[in-house]
Amino acid sequence: MSKILNIGSLNLDYVYAVPHFVEPGETLLSGRRGVFPGGKGLNQTVAAARAGAKVYHGGAVGVDGDMLLDLLRSAGADVSAVARVDVPTGHAIIQVSPQGENAIIILGGANRAVSPETVEKALDKVEKGDILLLQNEINGLDPIIRRAAEKGLRILFNPAPMEAAVKELPLHLLDTLVVNEGEGKALAGDMDALRAAYPDQKILLTKGSRGASLWTGAELLFQPAFPVKTVDTTAAGDCFLGYYAAALAEDLPYADALRLATAASALAVQRQGAAPSIPVRSEVEAFLKGTY
């Protein structure tokens, strides 16, 4: 079985319940605050670990990051390549209205202070043929991608949050480009345009309630979504990618990997929260057998 390394974001989400979003010049009393683990990197690592893969997480936290490391450890991930840095852990300030709408401010913090030394320590955990997960929430992506390609890693990159600078990255070195429809459109357009723009890469296009498509270079596969009652889609995409990477690490066929990942995300969207919504492998297998 291949190993998985995720050099990714680790966030603390500070969620405030408010009667309405703060207006300019206004001081507003919140009725409730919660602190939750977050970050696309964290969610994807939790998903891959709960799927049963051997997962290492690389990245950085500040002195306030113990909650995040504890969660990763409890999921079964190795956090020995996560550095402690002298800046605050990446975090989000989230206002939530009575209608469920949110307004968010994000501080990159430690996620934007990942040093080359931390990257090398993380890359030392894996070898040729292993899998590297990346998202667009940390610094230094260009040299990380180039160094990982030199090592012969299979790089799966999810360019979220999408920005113009993504197009300047060495995307031709990726094994798989993982995008939702909005990200795909921003990069090139529809699936056909993406395939033309990145002819040597596999392209995994997630389409929410309409399933997912994978272009392998030889064939185009489609996996429909499972019909479930959606409660919270916060971590659905991260859950999907973590499980998909775990399936690749097991050398499952692409069609089986898509099916496993889609089932995992179907369970996740039926639950509240991000990391807490991500199922363990036995739940996903029971769901696929119709016994969940």
Parallel/antiparallel/unpaired status of strands 176-180 and 55-61: unpaired
* 70 within a domain of the structure (yes/no): yes
pLDDT digits (tens, 9 = 90+) for 171-209: 999 999 999 999 999 999 888 888 999 999 999 999 988
> In this predicted structure, what is the pLDDT of residue 27?
93
Instruction: Count CB atoms within 10 A of the CB of residue 110.
Output: 29
Q: Which two tokens stand for residue 21?
A: 């979003």
Instruction: Note whether 62 and 110 are within 8 A (CB).
Output: yes
* 228 within a domain of the structure (yes/no): yes
* 95 within a domain of the structure (yes/no): no
> In this predicted structure, what is the pLDDT of residue 292?
67
* 28 within a domain of the structure (yes/no): no
What is the domain extent for residue 206? 4-10+38-90+108-289
Instruction: Count CB atoms within 10 A of the CB of residue 167.
Output: 13
* 115 within a domain of the structure (yes/no): yes
Name the nearest CA neighbour of 241 among 270, 289, 278.
278
Q: How many domains, the chain? A: 1
Check which CATH number belongs to the domain holding 193 and give it.
3.40.1190.20
> What's the whole-model pTM score?
0.93
Active site residues per annotation: 238
Chain centre distance of CA 57: 12
* 199 within a domain of the structure (yes/no): yes
* 16 within a domain of the structure (yes/no): no
Whose tokens are 């029971």? That residue is: 286
Stretches in the chain below the pLDDT threshold 70: 292
* 71 within a domain of the structure (yes/no): yes
Cross-sheet strand order for the sheet of 11-17: 32-38, 11-17, 90-96, 102-107
